[in-house]
Chains A and B, each alone.
Chain A
Amino acid sequence: MALVISAVVGAAVFGYAPRADAHPHVWATVRSEIVFSPDHAITGIRHAWTFDEFYTAMAVQGLDADGDGVYSKEELDPLAKVNIDSLEEFDYFTFVRLAGDDSFLPLEPPVDYSVEYDGTVLTLHFTLPLKTPLDPRRKDVSIDVYDPSFFVAFGFAEKVPVKVAGTPPEGCAAAVDKPDPESAEAAKALTEAFFSQLGPNSSYGSQFAQTMHVKCSTQ
Chain B
Amino acid sequence: MILAELVTRCRSVLCLAAGLAIVAFAMLLLAASASAQTKPPSAFGPPSQQQTAPPSFAGPKTMPPKTVQPTAAPLRAKGPFGSVLSWVAQTQQKMQRQLAGAVKSLKGGNALGAALFLAGLSFAYGVVHAVGPGHGKAIISSYVVANEETVRRGILISFLAAGLQALTAVALVGLLLVALNATGFQVNAWTNQLETVSYAMIALVGLYLLVTELVRLWRRWRGPQDAAHKHAHHHHDHDERDHHHYAAHHHAAHHHDDGEACNHMVDARDIAGPLSWRKVAAVVVSVGIRPCSGAILVLVFALTQGLFWAGVAATFAMAFGTAITVAVLATLALGSRELMLRLGGGNQRWAEAVWTTCAIGGALVVLMAGLLLFAASLGPARPF
**Residues of A participating in the B interface, judged by any CB pair closer than 8 Å:** 1-2, 5-6, 9-10, 13-14, 16-29, 31, 33, 46, 48, 50-55, 57-63, 82-87, 89-90, 112, 114, 116, 118, 120-121, 123, 125-127, 151-153, 155-161, 163, 165, 178-179, 181, 186-187, 189-190, 193, 200, 207-209
- Contact pick for B54, options A58, A118, A159, CB 8 Å: A159
**Are A17 and B183 also in contact (CB < 8 A) when A87-B383, A118-B69 are?**
no
Q: Inside 8 A of A25's CB, which chain B residues have their CB?
A: 293-294, 297
What is the bound-complex CA distance between A160 and B52, given in angstroms? 12
What is the bound-complex CA distance between A2 and B80, given in angstroms? 35
What is the bound-complex CA distance between A9 and B141, given in angstroms? 12
What is the bound-complex CA distance between A142 and B382, given in angstroms? 25
Question: What is the 8 Å Cβ interface bit string for chain B, positions 52-94, against chain A (1 contact, 0 not)?
Answer: 0010011111000101011111111111111101000100110
What is the bound-complex CA distance between A207 and B75, given in angstroms? 11
Q: Inside 8 A of B44's CB, which chain A residues have their CB?
A: 29, 121
Which B330-380 residues sit within 8 Å CB-CB of chain A? 353, 356-357, 360-361, 364-365, 368-369, 372-373, 376, 379-380
**Are A17 and B369 also in contact (CB < 8 A) when A2-B356, A155-B73 are?**
yes
Q: Inside 8 A of A13's CB, which chain B residues have their CB?
A: 138, 364-365, 368-369, 372
- Contact pick for A190, options B67, B80, B93, CB 8 Å: B80
Residue contact A18 to B376, C-beta cutoff 8 Å: yes
Query: Which single residue of chain B is at the shortest CB-CB distance from A46?
Result: B59
What is the bound-complex CA distance between A86 and B99, given in angstroms? 29
Query: Could you tell me the distance in whole angstroms from the C-beta of A211 to the nearest C-beta in chain B?
Result: 9
A-B pairs with beta carbons under 8 Å apart, 5 shown: A9-B365, A27-B93, A152-B384, A189-B78, A207-B81
**Are A2 and B76 also in contact (CB < 8 A) when A23-B92, A112-B59, A125-B60 are?**
no
What is the bound-complex CA distance between A42 and B310, given in angstroms? 49
Residue contact A54 to B96, C-beta cutoff 8 Å: yes
Q: Inside 8 A of A179's CB, which chain B residues have their CB?
A: 76-78, 82
What is the bound-complex CA distance between A58 and B100, given in angstroms? 13
Q: Inside 8 A of A193's CB, which chain B residues have their CB?
A: 78-79, 81
Residue contact B50 to A207, C-beta cutoff 8 Å: no
**Are A23 and B82 also in contact (CB < 8 A) when A158-B73, A165-B58 are?**
no
Residue contact A54 to B133, C-beta cutoff 8 Å: no
What is the bound-complex CA distance between A28 and B75, given in angstroms? 10
- Contact pick for B361, options A9, A19, A29, A152, CB 8 Å: A9
Query: Could you tell me the distance in whole angstroms from the C-beta of B63 to the nearest C-beta in chain A?
Result: 12
Query: Could you tell me the distance in whole angstroms from the C-beta of A213 to the nearest C-beta in chain B?
Result: 14
Given contacts A26-B384, A178-B76, 14 further A-B contacts (CB under 8 A): A10-B365, A27-B96, A53-B43, A54-B297, A58-B184, A83-B383, A87-B383, A90-B382, A114-B59, A186-B78, A186-B79, A189-B78, A193-B79, A207-B77
Query: Which single residue of chain B is at the shortest CB-CB distance from A122?
Result: B384
Indicate if B381 sits at the interface (CB-CB under 8 A).
Answer: yes
**Are A123 and B65 also in contact (CB < 8 A) when A10-B368, A114-B60, A207-B85 are?**
yes
Indicate if B224 sits at the interface (CB-CB under 8 A).
Answer: no
Residue contact B78 to A181, C-beta cutoff 8 Å: yes
- Contact pick for A160, options B54, B296, B361, CB 8 Å: B54
Query: Could you tell me the distance in whole angstroms from the C-beta of A22 to the nearest C-beta in chain B?
Result: 6
Indicate if B46 sits at the interface (CB-CB under 8 A).
Answer: no
What is the bound-complex CA distance between A25 and B76, given in angstroms? 17
Stretch of B116-124, B237-245, B250-258, B298-306 on the interface side: B298-306
Residue contact A20 to B54, C-beta cutoff 8 Å: no
Residue contact B89 to A57, C-beta cutoff 8 Å: no
Residue contact A118 to B67, C-beta cutoff 8 Å: yes
Residue contact B96 to A52, C-beta cutoff 8 Å: yes
Q: Inside 8 A of B298's CB, which chain A residues have their CB?
A: 54
- Contact pick for A82, options B74, B134, B185, B373, CB 8 Å: B185
Residue contact B57 to A1, C-beta cutoff 8 Å: no
Query: Could you tell me the distance in whole angstroms from the C-beta of B256 to the nearest C-beta in chain A?
Result: 22
Q: Inside 8 A of B187's CB, which chain A residues have their CB?
A: 58, 61
Residue contact A127 to B294, C-beta cutoff 8 Å: no
Residue contact B65 to A2, C-beta cutoff 8 Å: no
Indicate if B188 sits at the interface (CB-CB under 8 A).
Answer: yes
Which B11-54 residues sit within 8 Å CB-CB of chain A? 43-45, 47, 50, 54
Query: Could you tell me the distance in whole angstroms from the C-beta of A126 to the nearest C-beta in chain B?
Result: 8
- Contact pick for A16, options B81, B138, B184, CB 8 Å: B138
Residue contact A181 to B70, C-beta cutoff 8 Å: no
Indicate if B177 sits at the interface (CB-CB under 8 A).
Answer: yes
Query: Which single residue of chain A is at the shortest CB-CB distance from B380?
Result: A89
**Are A33 and B57 also in contact (CB < 8 A) when A13-B369, A161-B73 are?**
yes
Residue contact A18 to B372, C-beta cutoff 8 Å: yes
Residue contact B138 to A116, C-beta cutoff 8 Å: no
Residue contact A54 to B100, C-beta cutoff 8 Å: yes
Q: Which of B57, B85, B92, B298 has the most CB of A within 10 A?
A: B57
